[in-house]
């Protein structure tokens, strides 16, 4: 009967409980890392905004009914974007209710 055999106990080694020295905090490096993180967030946000604008402009240029062409002025493009944004916000308001 193998289940009645005594299990062999493997002795465990004691861990070193002595206090370990922690390196001193480098406040300048921490502050630099925080600033770098904020800068990365800003850059990522800017990239997102520019990519969004690019997508919108491409969608408008592809849509034949939009009236956007290579000769369309910037003011006309901005007006069409504002109209599209207004429409999307209205749809969002309806969906949020």
The CA–CA distances, whole Å, from 1 to 7, 8, 9 equal 13, 16, 19
- 18 falls within a domain: no
- 13 falls within a domain: no
Mean pLDDT, residues 49-67 taken together: 80
- 51 falls within a domain: yes
- 20 falls within a domain: no
- 31 falls within a domain: yes
Residue in the block written with tokens 């402009």: 57
**Which range among 27-36, 38-47, 65-74 shows the weakest confidence by mean pLDDT?**
65-74
What's the pLDDT score for residue 7?
63
Neighbours of 88 (CB within 10 A): 10
- The total domain count for the chain is 1
Write the CB contacts of 84 (distance below 8 Å, at least 6 apart in sequence): 56, 60
Give residue 80's domain range.
27-96
pTM for the structure as a whole: 0.46
């Amino acid at each position: 009967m193998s289940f009645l055999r005594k299990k062999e106990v493997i002795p465990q080694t004691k861990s070193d409980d002595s206090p370990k020295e922690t390196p001193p905090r480098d406040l300048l490096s921490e502050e630099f890392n925080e600033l770098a993180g904020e800068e990365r967030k800003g850059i990522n946000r800017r990239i997102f905004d520019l990519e969004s604008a690019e997508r919108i402009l491409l969608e408008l240029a592809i849509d034949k009914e939009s009236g956007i062409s290579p000769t369309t002025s910037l003011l006309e493009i901005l007006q069409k974007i504002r109209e599209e944004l207004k429409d999307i916000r209205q749809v969002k308001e309806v969906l949020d209710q």
